[in-house]
Amino acid sequence: MRPIQATIHLDALRHNLAVAKHRAPNSKVMAVVKANAYGHGLLRAAEGLSQADGFAVLELNEAISLREAGYLQTILLLEGLFDRTELVDAAKYDISIVVHCEQQIEMLEQVNLSTSTHVFLKMNTGMNRLGFIPETYASALTRLEKIKSVADITMMTHFATADEDAGIVAPLARFKEVTKGFDYPTSLANSAALLRYPASHSDWVRPGILMYGASPVSGQSAHALGLQPAMTFTSELIAVQVLQDGESVGYGQKFTAHKTTRVGVVACGYADGYPRHTPSGTAIAVDGQLTRTLGRVSMDMLFADITDIPDAAIGSQVELWGAQVPVDVIAEASGTVGYELLCAVAPRVPFKVIG
């Protein structure tokens, strides 16, 4: 069996949840576990986040899986429902739904439900993905108030620049102006807003990437924010090559040695979820020592410089990302974000749960 493995640390998930609760002590925490819990595994992550006040997912089958696993918390469908047949199942399993367009209100108006449902009404405050524009939000809220099957309403929005210099001042002001006078709970803060803007904490906060120990804020490391990585992606060296001055390694000969160089061949490649476009020189750890990658990432292998790690040999442990090599470091080198890398770990990689 190939030595590659992703380890999920339940204690890290618990720790990160505690950070969220500490930062927003007066809010309920809805842990975002969409996209198979950002690649960590829905039910694996839910175990570590079992003390969250709620879970947010994308698909109805994810929500039902959580219910059938025994989770009684609020479970929210972040994109709502896509057809009226789903509405019956959502009500049956007591799944809360985001309503972000007129068609979804029409579903609620037209379907005769035997049980009531919980609605999060979304306002578009500048993200321009989902939600009612401020000018139509009040009328949408009024329509929902008249629907007998709507048990309760939470007002929500999502910030486009909570992690950037632009911040949330303008969209938060817009949201507050439109909802002034409506006595409903609110849900505003994503991970970045939770950490940076206490004014956004309100009744519910919705941390996503924060839960998994990666940074939601550009320029600030997860460690500096007090977070712990919930995933460690590891493998081993499966071969060692010695390059002489002028020799190259890998496809395209993207690395050429200018001195005698020991190269460790790592059993991991882009088919495992390590990004192909990660440049030569990116951080990697071998036997607990930081070093660098060399050359181009292959489908099933990549290369590490072990020149200064004389004891490194076949079987030496390699950390691709985790506590020693933050996933955000790999993401930045690759021109992407940690979210993508965590979500992209391939199905062929075995997972282990500890803690």
Tell me what percent of the residues of the chain surpass a pLDDT of 70: 100
Report the pLDDT averaged over residues 134-139. 97
Q: Which H or E element spans position 289?
A: strand 289-294
Q: Reduced to 3 states, what is the DSSP secondary structure of residue 109?
A: helix
Residue 219 inside a domain? The answer is: no
Exposed/middle/buried for 272, CB within 10 Å: 0-12, 13-18, 19+?
buried
Beta strands 317-321 and 231-243: pairing type?
antiparallel
Q: Distance between alpha carbon 105 and the CA centroid of its chain, in Å?
A: 29
Asked if the model's pLDDT at residue 145 lies above 90, the reply is yes
- First-to-last C-alpha distance (Å) of the chain: 24
pLDDT of residue 171: 96
pLDDT at position 219: 87
pLDDT at 349: 98
**For residues 351 and 48, what is the distance between their CA atoms, to the nearest angstrom?**
15
What distance in Å separates the CA atoms of residue 81 and residue 88, rounded to the nearest whole number?
A: 10
Residues 64 and 196 in one domain: yes
Q: How confident is the model at residue 259 (pLDDT cuts 50, 70, 90)?
A: very high
Number of structural domains, the chain? 2
Q: What is the CATH number of the domain that holds 156?
A: 3.20.20.10
For residue 248, give every residue at least 6 positions away whose Cβ sits within 8 Å of its Cβ, in sequence order, or none: 254, 255, 256, 257, 295
Instruction: Tell me if 292 is assigned to some domain.
Output: yes
Of the residues 212, 247, 278, which one is the last residue of a structural domain? 212
Per-residue pLDDT band at 233 (split at 50, 70, 90): very high
Structure tokens belonging to residue 91: 């009500």
Amino acid code (one letter) for 175: F
d(CA 85, CA 62): 16
Q: Which residue has the tokens 């969250």?
A: 52
Secondary structure of residue 216 in the 3-state scheme: coil
Q: Which of 27, 36, 18 is nearest to 231 (CA)?
A: 36
Q: Which domain holds residue 161?
A: 10-212
* pLDDT of the residue at 218: 85
**Element (H or E) spanning 294, and its range?**
strand 289-294
CA 141/CA 197 separation, integer angstroms? 26
Q: 156 in a domain, yes or no?
A: yes
Mean pLDDT of all residues in 20-47: 98
Residues 6 or more apart whose CB falls under 8 angstroms from that of 70 comprise: none
- Same structural domain, 172 and 33: yes
CATH number at residue 314: 2.40.37.10
Query: Where are any strands of DSSP class E within the chain?
Result: 5-9, 28-32, 54-57, 74-77, 96-99, 117-123, 150-157, 186-189, 204-205, 231-243, 248-249, 255-256, 261-266, 283-286, 289-294, 302-305, 317-321, 351-354
Q: Is residue 3 part of a domain?
A: no
Tell me if 100 sits within 8 A of 82, measured CB to CB. Answer: no
- Catalogue the active-site residues: 34, 251
**CA quadruple 71, 233, 13, 221: dihedral sign:** negative
Cα distance between residue 348 and residue 4, in whole Å: 9
For residues 236-251, give the mean pLDDT. Answer: 97
Any domain includes 218:
no
Measuring CA to CA, which residue among 37, 46, 48 is closest to residue 66?
A: 46
**Does residue 286 sit within a domain?**
yes
Render pLDDT for 51-104 as a digit per residue (tens, 0 to 9).
999 999 999 999 999 999 999 999 999 999 999 889 999 999 999 999 999 999
Is residue 353 over pLDDT 90? yes
Q: Which residue has the tokens 């060399």?
A: 294
Query: Looking at residue 294, what is its pLDDT?
Result: 98
Q: Which amino acid is at 64?
A: I
Q: What is the pLDDT of residue 113?
A: 85
Q: Show which of 212, 239, 255 is a domain's final residue.
A: 212
pLDDT of residue 115: 86
pLDDT reported for residue 112: 85
Residues 171 and 78 in one domain: yes
Average pLDDT, the chain: 97
Give Cα 225 to chain centroid, integer Å: 16
Look up residue 249 and give its two tokens: 């390694």
Q: Are 246 and 201 members of one domain?
A: no
Residue 278 has pLDDT above 90, yes or no: yes
Q: Give the angle 339-343-345 at the CA atoms, nearest 5°.
A: 125
Tell me, yes or no, whether 1 lies in a domain: no
DSSP alpha helices (H): ranges in 191-299?
A: 191-196
